[in-house]
Amino acid sequence: YDLPPCSTVQRECDLTPVQTKLLKALRDEGAAMVAEGTIRGANEAAVLSKMMQVVLGGVYGLDQKVIQVDASPRMAELMEILEQLDGRAIIFTPFKESVRQVSAVVGAKYRIGVITGDVRDTERDEIFAGFQSGMLDHIVAHPRTMSHGLTLTEASTVIWFGPPDSLETYDQANARITRAGQKSAQLIVHIVASPLERRVFSRLEKKAA
């Protein structure tokens, strides 16, 4: 299909002091201590996952309880992007706690649908139908829950609050708006605050594993 063009942009935001401190501890020691508990990764992949959770605002401690981390500059950047848009967006974020935080903030201002693995199929269908009909402004979703073949061309923007851990997930999530029936130029937005995210998004853009 001859679709309108699709552009990718990167929006920078700051890390908060607590994020900077936790990221350094995880990078250097593989663990970090906070008043609410201990953050530790059992191996390199787990440490990277914990670091990504820190930059997104909520990290799981050893007892699997969520430790809240100030990520206010990132949330402010997201809201600024939404205010600048002329249309609807799908906001992807790769952790359930991050979906909860983002939907709470965005939902206070906009009509939204929220999609996670806990949402039943019938409720998902209602959200997608409401979005396509104009009853919802935006969708906040975990990227792995957006199925192959799903068409959401009423949105022309995908915003990545944080990067996914899979090239296939990234491509399939972006493809929800880049489909037959899309009449608008599409925009993919990466929100980044740390070198880790920059490296991950760079590899995704280059179609690397």
Per residue in 80-138, pLDDT (tens digit) is: 999 999 899 999 999 999 999 999 999 999 999 999 999 999 999 999 999 999 999 99
- Quote the Cα angle for 116-82-59, to 5°: 45
- Give this prediction's pTM: 0.92
Q: Reply yes or no on whether the pLDDT at 9 is more than 70.
A: yes
With cut-offs at 50, 70 and 90, classify the pLDDT of residue 165: confident
The answer to whether residue 39 scores a pLDDT higher than 90 is no
Burial 130-163 (b: 16+ CB within 10 A, else e): ebeeeebbbbbbbbbbbeeeeebbbbbbbbbbbb
**Residue 99: CB atoms within 10 Å:** 26
Residues whose CB falls within 8 Å of the CB of residue 203, separated by 6 or more in sequence, listed in order: 167, 209
Residue of 170, 115, 119, 112 lying closest to 137 (CA atoms): 112
Q: What are phi and psi of 92, to 5 degrees?
A: -105, 140
Q: What is the mean pLDDT of the chain?
A: 90
158 pLDDT higher than 80: yes
